[in-house]
Each structure stands twice: as structure tokens, then as C-alpha cells.
Amino acid sequence: MSHGFRLWEQHCCLPLLPTADLLELTRYPSGSYLSVNIGYSPQSTRESLELVTQFRRDALTDGRFRLVHSIEDAWPEVPSAETDSTLALAFDLEDAGPLEGDLDNVELFYELGLRSLLPTYNHANAAGCGCLDSADSGLTAYGRDLIRKLNEVGVFADGSHCSRRTGLDIAEISDVPMIYSHSNFAALWAHPRNIGDDQAKACAATGGVIGINGVGIFLGHNEPADRGGRIEAMADHIAYGAELVGIEHIGVGSDYSFDADDFNAELAKNPESYSEEYTRYGQLQWVPPEDLLGVSGVPGLDEVLAARGFSAADRAAVFGGNFARVARAVWRD
């Protein structure tokens, strides 16, 4: 690791299969907090429960992970030798679909480590509208109840992949800070998955944090060879967000997909599930942990931000302190 900061990775993806190799996550440095996806719109309650159960079993068997029950598990105020040598593991859902309309399932998943949930993945569902919908009516009545339930249980209410109105509704309804786990700024790159300044300001007004991602098509740098360009673009979005809402509201949710080949195959097989803004660029590219952290020959994000004049305190906040602060305000344990 090229810097002394702990990393709070608010969203990354393994293959959504029980056969997924959890040990891929050890590409992140020890001491990191990782939120790993366990389902989006296609998954049933049963499938996501089976997945999270398998991930937890694999984590305990391997021994290099600690399962997150409390904020101290995730981000101890005084790190120990044990926490410095392990990875904190929690989970997120990228759609309300795996709840199957039963809000009590939020508590069920919470007990298994769920700490973040976004209502809609790209397209409208029972909870609200997605970022690829042409019509935008925001959260439904059920979606509003869902946000209240997330507040009650202690799970981040997440606006990523949601429509503009849905994101603004989350900010209006939530009694605690909301987040955008892995969203960039439309002002810098006009992609429908990126968020408007109004969404960012509304999130910050709740006390929340926006996690900047490293997906090529959301950064405008999707050429396979442009690894350094993607890091520089992430820094551009961090700098823009810091100017817009303050550095205390910016974090990292790289959205790195350890299932990148599967995702690209899905794009090719079912292009109707995505807009042209996903399919027109060819194979999607991501910033992997090694590039993000500057241990692969590409200048890492910390190095790039330091060169731009960001202080060590500001960089530590972006790399983890900001999301940890919000977790202390939202999580119940």
C-alpha cells in the first residue's frame, strides 16, 4: 500500500454465485473495510441469503476476514494488530428486489451483515425509479416506507443507480445521513448513472457522503490502456465534489467488479437491460485495487491527490474517515 491510510471501500462486486472466490478480496490491503454486493434486481430473497451465507462461511474459514457487526468491527477508533491484519467484511444490496416486498427482510439481512441498500437498480421497481428510466416519479409509497425501515434498522440508504427524483426523495425522507455509495458527477461526464449537483447537495445536507467510483464509462476514460487516465478522472471527481459540497462529503466506492468478464458477457447477451450509454463503449474497464492504491506501477489515487495539493488529513477523510463518520451516525450496533 502506497500510503498510511486505511481504506473504506463502500462498494465492490464478486460474481453473484456461491462459487465466487472470496479470496479475490485479499487484493485489498489488510485493515480495509469492504462492502460487497450480494444481489440486485434479478436475485430472490433465497438467492441473496444463500450468497451472503456462503460468503460469511468462506470468510470465517479463511481467517483473514472479520465479519462486521458494529462500527468498531468495521473501523476501530484504535486499530489493533488483529484489525490491521484482517479485512472487515460487510454487504450491500443494489436493489430492493431481493427483499421481495417484505420490509422485515431488512432486519434479516442486517443480522447477516447488510449495511447498505439502494432502492432501484437502473430501472423502476416497486420502490421507485431508476437512472435509466425516461419517466421519473421518484420513490413510491413502498419506497418511502423502505427508507424509514433502513433508518430504523441502521442500514445506509443509498441513492446510486436511482433516478434523480428518487435520490432527492431519499434525502428528503431520511432522518439520518444518506449516501451515494458509488456515483460520479454528471457535471464532469454526462452519463445517466452520474448524479446532478442538486443530488450531491441534498445528500451533503443530510450529512452524507458520495463515494467516487472507478468505472471507465462513468469517468469518460474506458480505453483499456488508459489506466492512469481513470485514476486522474477519479481525482477530478473528488476535487469537483470537494469544491461543490466539501471534502467531508466525499469518499471512495470504486465499484470494482471481480466479475468483470461476467458483467461484460451480460452486456453483450442482454443489451436491452441497459441503455446505449452502457453498451456503446464496448468492454467496460474498471480501476482495480492495485491501481487505486498505487501498487501496480500506475500512480495511485493518493499520490495523484497529494500532487494536486490535498492534505494528508483530507486524503485520510476521503479514503475512509468520512464514510466511517456517517456509519457511526447511521448504524445501530
The model's pLDDT over 77-103, given as tens digits with 9 standing for 90+, comes to 999 998 999 999 999 999 999 999 999
pLDDT score of 1: 39
Query: Are 237 and 211 spatial neighbours (Cβ–Cβ below 8 Å)?
Result: no
Mean pLDDT, residues 179-194 taken together: 98
Mode of pairing for the β-strands spanning 33-37 and 256-257: unpaired
Q: Provide φ and ψ at 65, rounded to 5°.
A: -125, 155
Check the CA dihedral 271-272-274-276 and report its sign: positive
Q: Which residues fall within 8 angstroms of residue 304, CB to CB, at 6 or more apart?
A: 231, 232, 235
Mean pLDDT, residues 54-71 taken together: 97
- What's the one-letter identity of residue 144? R
Residue 139: pLDDT band (50, 70, 90) is very high
pLDDT score of 4: 64
Mean pLDDT, residues 304-330 taken together: 98
Residue 2: pLDDT band (50, 70, 90) is very low
Query: Are 235 and 247 spatial neighbours (Cβ–Cβ below 8 Å)?
Result: no
pLDDT score of 89: 98
Query: Are 290 and 296 spatial neighbours (Cβ–Cβ below 8 Å)?
Result: yes
Is the CATH number 3.20.20.140 carried by domain 8-330? yes
Q: How far apart are CA 317 and CA 47, in angstroms?
A: 35
Query: Are 190 and 208 spatial neighbours (Cβ–Cβ below 8 Å)?
Result: no
pLDDT score of 294: 93
Which cell goes with 190? 454526462
**Of the candidates 296, 308, 327, which has an alpha carbon nearest to the alpha carbon of residue 155?**
327
CB atoms within 10 A of CB 20: 20
pLDDT score of 270: 76
Task: Provide the terminal-to-terminal Cα distance of the chain, rounded to the nearest Å.
Answer: 30
Query: Are 320 and 6 spatial neighbours (Cβ–Cβ below 8 Å)?
Result: yes
pLDDT score of 3: 53
Q: How far apart are CA 284 and CA 59, in angstroms?
A: 29
The per-residue pLDDT for range 100-123, each reduced to its tens digit, is 999 999 999 999 999 999 999 999
pLDDT score of 248: 98
pLDDT score of 38: 98
Say whether pLDDT at 13 is over 70: yes
Mean pLDDT, residues 318-333 taken together: 97
Range with lowest mean pLDDT among 33-37, 260-264, 286-290, 302-306:
260-264
Is 27 exposed, middle or buried (CB count within 10 Å of its CB: 0-12, 13-18, 19+)? Answer: middle
| Crossing angle of the two packed helices 227-245 and 197-205, in degrees rounded to 10 | 60
Residue 269: pLDDT band (50, 70, 90) is confident
pLDDT score of 223: 96
Cα angle 56, 318, 27 (rounded to 5 degrees) comes to: 40
* Domain assignments of the chain as residue spans, ordered by start: 8-330
Q: How far apart are CA 44 and CA 47, in angstroms?
A: 5
The per-residue pLDDT for range 234-252, each reduced to its tens digit, is 999 999 999 999 999 999 9
Q: Provide φ and ψ at 104, rounded to 5°.
A: -65, -20
